[in-house]
Amino acid sequence: MKPVRESDLVDLLDRLLNKGLVLNADVIISVAGVPLIGINLKAAIAGIETMLDYGMMEPWDKKTREWYSVEFAKRAAVPMIKK
Amino acid sequence: MTDGRYMYCIINNDTPSNLGNIGINDAEVYTIPYQNIAAVVHSCEPKPYETKDNKKAKEWILAHGYVIDHATKNFGTVLPFSFNAIIRGGDSIVKNWLAGNHDKFKGELERVKNMAEYSVQVFYEHEKLAEKIEANDKELGELKAKMGIMPKGTAYLVQKQYEQKVKDAISVKISKLTKELGSRIIEHAEEMRIDEKTSHMPEKYKDKKLILAVACLVHKNKVETLGKVLDCINGNDDFAVRFTGPWAPFSFVKLREV
């Protein structure tokens, strides 16, 4: 069978919001030391696609920071099967 | 004042080029080279893209994806950035940052050269599998036969026992199948990762259960063979396979935080 690129948005979302390179806090845009990674955008999309397992979050607060560190921990913890 | 640079991807290329107004909100996308690698960016305000407008959010995501696809077509496999990775500063800051990370990026680009990410999802039909297990398991068959001639109270308890046994048998079968399928697929991939988060599925898979979801880094010469292997799995009555790609190696960039 041939690979397809159907429902691109859904597949792209998974990748663009959960995967790919991210910048560290030295260079990423931040406000008062809080790195941002499009919290509102995630929430906006999660609302319609109901696919992301984060709840709605208020940006800029302590929770955001915690979420950010958890997110990194999760990324780092993705199991890898080596050949 | 635009002293931010929105990062789409890192490419193997040494010449400055303009990719046109293909970026988020039709931003002009261009490359900032350093030695033999370059960052694909657009110039923006030094703040993240945020919106509560779903339509806009979708457009942004699709635009980011489009730039990555476009860059891949022109420059070969890229190292893709997550959405909203913005560097504070102008071209010279980006250049310095590339210089500082050059060897890491170059190494990664070489590693994924001529490869792309594909996603494979294998589904099964729970009912069908349960029926098969019940029909083929001797112990279960005997138990069922016994239930027919038991007093009602005892039969009830045995029924519970029976259901538990079917459940256990299904989970043993599934974990066995998952491993089998995984090892057949990985034969044709350079690397494989389990996709923990799976977004919603197209309608045709709605009533099926996911048995395996993986992202594979596959060399371009092996995509066809992987497709054939998936054909075999898909041809089996019990399974349905969803095979998507090619994608930039989102799941395989090892530099996560740079």
pLDDT digits (tens, 9 = 90+) for B65-87: 999 999 999 999 999 998 888 88
* Tokens, residue A83: 């050949």
pLDDT reading at B256 higher than 70: no
Nearest Cα to A11, choosing from B246, B57, B182?
B246
B146-159: per-residue pLDDT in tens? Answer: 888 888 888 888 88
Residue A39's pLDDT is: 44
Q: How far is A61 from chain B (nearest CA, A)?
A: 16
Of A68, A33, A4, A73, nearest in space to B118 by CA: A4
Q: Report the residue of chain A nearest B195, measured CA to CA.
A: A78
Whole-angstrom Cα distance, residue B65 to residue B57? Answer: 12
The answer on pLDDT for B130 being more than 80 is yes
Give the DSSP letter of residue A44: H
Name the residue among A8, A51, A78 with its Cβ closest to that of B196: A78
Contact call for B88 and A17, based on CB within 8 A: no
Angstrom CA distances, B241 to A68, B94, B126, stand at 34, 42, 15
Task: Give the pLDDT score at B46.
Answer: 79
Q: Is the pLDDT of residue A28 over 80?
A: no
- B223 vs A38: CB contact, 8 Å cut-off? no
* Higher pLDDT, residue B46 or B184: B184
* ipTM score above 0.85: no
Quote the CA–CA distance of A75 and B196 in Å, as a whole number. Answer: 10
Please report the pLDDT score of residue B257 as a whole number: 55
B57 contact partners, CB below 8 Å, separation of at least 6? A41, A44, A45, B51
Query: Which of B81, B192, B202 is facing A20, going by the closest CB pair?
Result: B81
Contacts B247 to A, Cβ<8 Å: 11, 15
Interface of A with B in 33-62 (CB under 8 A): 36-41, 43-45, 47-53, 59
Tokens of B65: 């994806």
Kindly indicate the confidence band of residue A63, based on its pLDDT and cuts at 50, 70 and 90: very low
Residue A22 has pLDDT above 90, yes or no: no
pLDDT at B80: 94
How far, in Å, CA of A13 to CA of A43, rounded? 12
Cα–Cα distance between B251 and A15 in angstroms, integer? 8
E runs forming strands in chain A = 30-31, 34-35, 80-81
Q: What is the pLDDT of residue B19?
A: 97
